[in-house]
Chains A and B, each alone.
Chain A
Amino acid sequence: MHQLLKELVFPLFSNPILDKGDDSAVFDLKGKIAFTTDSFVVKPLFFAGGDIGKLAVCGTINDLAVAGAKPMYLTASCIVEEGFEISLLKKIIQSMAKTAKEAGVKIVGGDLKVVEKNAADKIFINTTGIGIIPGNLNLSSHNARVGDVIILNGFIGEHATAVMSGRQDYKLKTSVKSDCAALNRLISKILQISPNTHLMRDPTRGGIATTLNEIALASDVEIQIEEDKLPIREAVKGFCEILGIDPLYMANEGKVLIFAKEKDGKKILSAMQGHPLGKHSQIIGGVTKKNHPLVLLHTSIGSTRILDMLTGEQLPRIC
């Protein structure tokens, strides 16, 4: 184990804080702090557009970024099932290191535990992250206000489609890649342009429908969105049509929903569209009413319906 850490993990994650090799990472941080943790399990471990390592780093970076924080340091803790191939572990660690480096975030601590066969499913990863919130930024799910526009940075449902088709449960192949990406640079650009942005959330499990419902409840507002404005790739639409599932409830790993005053909407949108992770950004709707926590969808055929939260998991239809 010592050898594994020394030869594989330390060189790849190397930075002055980690390299000290002490029991705790020690560093100075000044200002308002954001602090978050998440555990990652995914099947298959490697899927089109990413892997569990990239997912674990991006997931925590994005949770910090949507709070308005500049992500600084992560810890990473892996629980590995006995017999898991070292070459795969190496690939995952390499992917974590690469993703963190590209995002400008340091992995300053971690742990690796091996548990006996069948006590874990191959590998579980937990990442914890800390970041600094600059200036007077105040982003929270409680901050949606009537008149806000809602901006989304691109195609939805790609992560879930890539993972589900990778799992081969449904024996459907697609060309869709997971959107798994660290959003901190895109978000920092948005906040530079519009520091008064009311809130941001990354719509992961449960998709944009569930996240919008959580926001409607937290802010006690009615949200209306336009079906025609939702960016959905043809391949994702086809995948969903065949199985009878809804892309609005499918997980994303590189998407952000932004709520901002209408007057700021256009400048945020054009800044986002100039960033590689925001090329397909769209204003998808707005906040319409106070004291009415509900999400409504204007369908492409001209009707309106409730867009509810996901309960349980989406199941393919029987016939």
Chain B
Amino acid sequence: MKYIDEFRDKTIVKNLIGQIEKFAGANVNLMEVCGTHTMAIFRSGLKQLLPKNINLISGPGCPVCVTSQIDIDRMLALAGIKNVIITTFGDMLKVPGTKSSLEKERSCGCDVRSVYSPADALDIARQNKNKEVVFLAVGFETTSPAIGSVVSDAKEEKIKNFYIHSCLKLIPPAMEALLQAQEIKLDGFICPGHVSAITGSSSYEFICRDYKIPCCISGFEPVDILETVLMLLKLIVQKKARVEVQYKRAVKPQGNILAQKMLRRIFTETDAQWRGLATIPKSGLKLNKDYLDFDAQEKFNLKVIASEEPKNCLCGEVLRGVKTPSQCKLFVKVCNPENPYGPCMVSSEGTCSAWYKYNR
């Protein structure tokens, strides 16, 4: 297939691996902070082809996985409210909260519907005027503008029964939190292609400036990722910490101005809780004061008392890149896709799910 096959070409892959091998020597830790990268790396078996000194570490790049346990429990509380229809991306359904999951709540009679787009959730609100429709908004900079545009439509149409429960998050603050924690030594970031298509390349500049870590924005095919690794290796050797863009066919330096405007119009930055990373200042998006009528938290005034993460589950450590799934006692035997304990096994972009599927 045109524009795909070229990026999965065996000869080009071999050539790039050959160039990467020239950087043999000290261990190099590169972290990807995008679930789609994690899956692409595992699905194409790239780790196997790379020399042993290149260590690809998965970070907090899966929006479902980084959603905090409290937020999951709030979602479950919302599902239990009479007359409420919960709309969500399918990946959220199986994520275990402290006592239940949306899937279990659905089997007990709660109205939980899986949608592909937030626009479908608004359609459900239009068609069910006598019900309150809540969309569980998870995602990063990529998904947020589309959710913002739906909220904007809802306001324009004066729709009174549509709300979002925002767990939207921003990637650069999470990257900074990882560096500040100093739990692992990172030599470079493989930056997310889709997020960067919205934000542009400048949003990572502070990482390079303040932490002296090079960043390279990557596409999602094997050739893209290998080229990114090569670009990062060159920067590391030259001791140059700057942002480079490998994924030039989608990412412009200024990003998507229209989407950025949408984000600024609808949302405000807020402190957000991340699974594994605790609360990170200004790392989340909440509806700004003009759109509070669409905020599920405001409408339903949710209070969740005690949230507990699953016992012995290492999802938090896995999300920080400190542990690998195989170091978790629950991995495979107790926690697997049929019976997931933590969100990283549930989500199709979760690190544990990738390890289970392709690498166990």
Binding site for B on A (CB under 8 A): 169-170, 234, 237-238, 241, 244, 299-306, 308, 311-319
28 contacts between A and B (CB under 8 A): A170-B116, A241-B1, A300-B8, A301-B9, A301-B44, A301-B45, A301-B49, A301-B222, A302-B49, A304-B45, A305-B43, A305-B44, A306-B358, A306-B359, A308-B358, A312-B337, A313-B90, A315-B90, A315-B91, A316-B116, A317-B36, A318-B63, A318-B139, A318-B349, A319-B142, A319-B143, A319-B194, A319-B195
Q: Which residues of A contact B338 (CB under 8 A)?
A: 311
The A/B interface has a contact count, at CB < 8 Å, of 81
Given known contacts A303-B49, A305-B42, A312-B337, A169 and B359 CB-to-CB distance under 8 angstroms: no
A170–B119 CA distance with the chains assembled, in angstroms: 11
Q: Which residue of B lies closest to A318 (CB)?
A: B89
The listed residue (B4, B63, B138, B358) touching A305 by CB distance below 8 A is B358
* Whole-angstrom distance between the Cβ of A172 and the nearest chain B Cβ: 10
Asked if A300 and B91 sit within 8 Å, CB to CB, the answer is no
Interface residue from A169, A303, A316, A318 paired with B143 (Cβ < 8 Å): A318
> Within 8 Å CB of B142, what residues of A?
319
**Of all chain B residues, which has the CB nearest A170?**
B116
What 7 A-B pairs have minimum CB-CB distances, sorted nearest first?
A: A303-B45, A319-B142, A315-B90, A311-B337, A305-B45, A301-B13, A305-B358
Could you tell me the distance between the alpha carbons of A308 and B332 in the complex, rounded to whole angstroms?
A: 13
B180 proximity list for chain A (CB < 8 A): none
Instruction: Give the contacts of B232-259 with A (CB-CB under 8 A).
Output: none
Is the C-beta of B360 less than 8 angstroms from some C-beta in chain A? yes
B348 located at the interface, meaning its Cβ lies under 8 Å from any Cβ of chain A in the complex: yes
B356 — nearest CB in chain A belongs to which residue? A308
Interfacial residues of chain B within 38-97, with CB under 8 A of chain A in the complex: 42-46, 48-49, 63-64, 89-91, 94
How many Å from the CB of A318 to the closest CB on chain B? Answer: 5
Contacts of B348 in A (CB 8 A): 244, 314-315, 317
| B155 interfacial contact with A, CB 8 Å | no
How far, in Å, is A295 (CB) from chain B's closest CB?
Answer: 12
Closest-CB distance, A217 to chain B (whole angstroms):
14
Question: Judging by beta carbons under 8 Å apart, are A299 and B45 in contact?
Answer: yes
- A228 closest partner in B (C-beta): B10
B35: chain A residues within 8 A (beta carbon): 317
Report the Cα distance A217→B358, complex, angstroms: 17
Q: Is B14 interfacial (CB 8 A cutoff)?
A: yes
Q: Mark B114-144, 1 if CB is under 8 A from A, else 0.
A: 1010000000000000000000001110110
How far apart are the CA atoms of A312 and B222 in the complex, in Å?
27
Q: How many of B's residues come within 8 Å of A, CB to CB?
A: 41
Q: Are A319 and B337 in contact (CB under 8 A)?
A: no
From B44, B138, B140, residue with most partner A Cβ within 10 Å: B44
Closest residue of chain B to A319, judged by CB?
B142
**Residues on the A chain within 8 Å of B43, using CB:** 305
Q: How far is the CB of B241 from the nearest CB of chain A, in Å?
A: 27
Find chain A residues with CB under 8 A from B46 CB: 301, 303
* Inter-subunit contact B357/A308 (CB<8 Å): yes
- In the complex, what residues of A have CB within 8 A of residue B195's CB? 319
Given contacts A301-B10, A303-B46, A315-B90, contact A169 B116 (CB under 8 A): yes
Are the C-beta atoms of B140 and A319 separated by less than 8 Å? yes
Complex Cα distance, B40 from A244, in Å, reads 10
Q: Judging by beta carbons under 8 Å apart, are A302 and B63 in contact? A: no
Q: Is the CB of A318 within 8 A of B64?
A: yes
Residues of A within 8 A of B36 (CB): 244, 317, 319
A317 to B43, CA, bound (A): 14
The closest CB in chain A to the CB of B142 belongs to A319
Q: Which residues of A contact B45 (CB under 8 A)?
A: 299, 301, 303-305
A241 in contact with B349 (CB, 8 Å): no
Q: How many Å from the CB of A153 to the closest CB on chain B? A: 22
Closest to A309 in B: B337
A237 close to B337 (CB less than 8 A): no
A227 to chain B: closest residue by CB: B8
| Minimum distance in angstroms from B150 CB to a CB of chain A | 15
Question: A318 near B14 (CB under 8 angstroms)?
Answer: no
**In the complex, chain B residues whose CB is within 8 Å of the CB of A169:** 116
- The CA of A234 and the CA of B4, in the complex, are separated in Å by 11
Please indicate the chain B residues that have their CB under 8 angstroms from the CB of A238 in the complex.
1
Query: Closest chain B residue to A238 by CB distance?
Result: B1
Q: How long is the Cα–Cα vector from A314 to B114 in the complex, in angstroms?
A: 13
CB-CB under 8 A for A312 and B42, given A241-B1, A306-B357, A319-B194: no
Assuming the contacts A241-B1, A315-B90, asked whether A302 and B10 have C-beta atoms less than 8 A apart, the reply is yes
User: Chain B contacts of A319 at CB under 8 A?
Assistant: 36, 63, 139-140, 142-143, 194-195
Among A299, A306, A311, A312, the residue within 8 A (CB) of B44 is: A299
**Smallest CB–CB gap between A294 and chain B, Å?**
10
A303-B349 in contact given A308-B356, A318-B91, A318-B143 (Cβ < 8 Å): no
A221 to B308, CA, bound (A): 42
Question: What's the nearest-Cβ distance from chain A to residue B195, in Å?
Answer: 8
Q: Is the CB of A302 within 8 A of B14?
A: yes
Complex-state Cα separation, A306 to B47, whole angstroms: 13
Interface residues of B in 170-221 (CB under 8 A from A): 194-195
Contacts of A305 on B, CB cut-off 8 Å? 42-45, 48, 358-359
